Structures are given as structure tokens and as C-alpha cells.
Amino acid sequence: EPEVTQTPSHQVTQMGQEVILRCVPISNHLYFYWYRQILGQKVEFLVSFYNNEISEKSEIFDDQFSVERPDGSNFTLKIRSTKLEDSAMYFCASSGGGGTYEQYFGPGTRLTVT
Amino acid sequence: RKEVEQDPGPFNVPEGATVAFNCTYSNSASQSFFWYRQDCRKEPKLLMSVYSSGNEDGRFTAQLNRASQYISLLIRDSKLSDSATYLCVVNGDTDKLIFGTGTRLQVFP
């Protein structure tokens, strides 16, 4: 069964450092998303991406964040200068269509900022 | 009012029990509704989509009431492996998903 994959599974970084989280969406999917979940809290939407551009972004997704699809398979989330409050699980998701289509989540990257 | 509201639980039930979870949502323009399951420190996994006519998948039944903006999930014949957090999820005006805080279920022998 096709699945979304993410690397690394755990990333530890120091405050102010840049991190890149990587995702390989399901191969025939066209819509890509990043969500995050701070420990003990609910899953929150960060950004959606379609046709090589951002479709929508949340208030959390400020100028420190960027996304890219550098090739035909990878989808990345970059945090330029990490803060302590960026510590969270980051989930990538993909969907075969926008709107009412179901989204499938990767296993997540646990980001710890020290 | 929270966008998606759920009773956090926990619901502690014996194996074989029937348990029901409820959820309300605030955006009447929402078009898609889902139940996801999340195990501790794992990703949300899609359990089922929820349709206006109601739908069933094995031991799981989901219902949607658009007029009341209310979604439910019924689990029959609970198994130990059903222990998890159940997330009520709706889309907003766009395809972004809005999650509830989840309802924790613990099934005991």
C-alpha cells in the first residue's frame, strides 16, 4: 500500500539553526500539506501546496518557514531560524485531489529545539 | 466557540463494549468530515470519511447531522487494539483540515 514517508524521524537542533524536513508524498498525489502537533495539543495546519505553489498558509507559517518541491518526488519544509516554540511533531500529508479528498499522513518528524 | 469540539475523555470500556464519540463543528460551510485515529506519538491515520447518509465500515459507524453540525462515531464490540485517540476532523472553506483535540479511548480486558 502506498504511503507517505518522512525523514528524519527525529531532529535535534539548536535555537537559531536552520532545519529542513523532508517528505516523499504518495506517488500519484498532487496536493501536499504540512501540519504540526505540539506535545499534548491538537494537530494544526501549516501550509498546503499544489502545482508548485502555496495554496494556503496559516498564521503559524510566517517568514521563517518555506516549502519546496525540489524534484518530482520530494516535498520539503524549511525553518530558517528555529525557536524553542518550534519544537513539535511535523507531519507531511498528501492527497489525490483538493477539496473533499482524503489526506494521508506520514509518520512525522519530531523536531526538538534546544 | 472552538472550530471542532470533542469530549477529551478518557473513555475506559471493557472489551466487547459499544462506545460512541461525538463532535461538533462551527463552520457551516465545511464540506468534508473524517474520523482519524492517532496512537501515542504516531501520525493520524484515516479511519473513515463521514457522509451525510451515514456510513459503516465493519464495527465502525459514522453519522453526520449537518443541521446540528454534529458528527458521531460508534464502535461496536470494542477490541483491545481499538485503544487510541480518535480525532474528529473537518475541512474549512478550503482543503485544510481542522482537527479536534481528540477523544481518548482505553479498552481493558
Give the residue from chain B lying closest to A6, CA to CA. Answer: B43
The separation between CA B37 and the C-alpha centre of its own chain, rounded to angstroms, equals 8
Partner B, chain A 30-89, Cβ-Cβ below 8 Å:
31, 33, 35, 41-45, 48, 55-56, 58, 89
Under 8 Å CB pairs connecting chains A and B tally to 60
In this structure, what is the dihedral angle of CA atoms A94, A98, A100, A105, given to the nearest 10 degrees?
Answer: 10
How many residues does the structure list for chain A? 114
Taking a C-beta distance cutoff of 8 angstroms, is the pair A46, A61 a contact? Answer: yes
pLDDT at A2: 82
Taking a C-beta distance cutoff of 8 angstroms, is the pair A112, A87 a contact? Answer: yes
pLDDT at B64: 95
Rounded CA-CA distance B74/B11 in Å is 13
Rounded CA-CA distance B37/B103 in Å is 10
Q: Is the pLDDT of residue A103 over 90?
A: yes
pLDDT at B93: 74
Per-position pLDDT tens, chain B of length 109: 789 999 988 999 999 999 999 999 999 988 899 999 999 989 999 999 998 888 999 999 999 999 999 999 999 999 999 999 999 999 977 889 999 999 999 999 9
| Cβ contact, residue pair A58, B43, below 8 Å | no
Give the residue from chain A lying closest to B86, CA to CA. Answer: A42
Q: Which helix H or strand E contains A45, and what residues bound it?
A: strand A43-50
DSSP line for A53-71: EEEEE-TT--TTEEEE--S
Shortest CA gap B30–chain A (Å): 10
**pLDDT digit string (tens) for A42-100?**
999 999 999 999 999 999 999 999 999 988 789 999 999 999 999 999 999 999 887 77
Angle CA(B23)–CA(B63)–CA(A37) in degrees, nearest 5?
A: 40
Which of B86, B78, B79 lies closest to B104 in space, CA to CA?
B86
pLDDT at A70: 87
In which band, very low, low, confident or very high, does the pLDDT at A40 lie, cut at 50, 70 and 90? Answer: very high
pLDDT at B1: 75
Give the residue from chain B lying closest to A97, CA to CA. Answer: B95
| Cβ contact, residue pair A33, B96, below 8 Å | yes
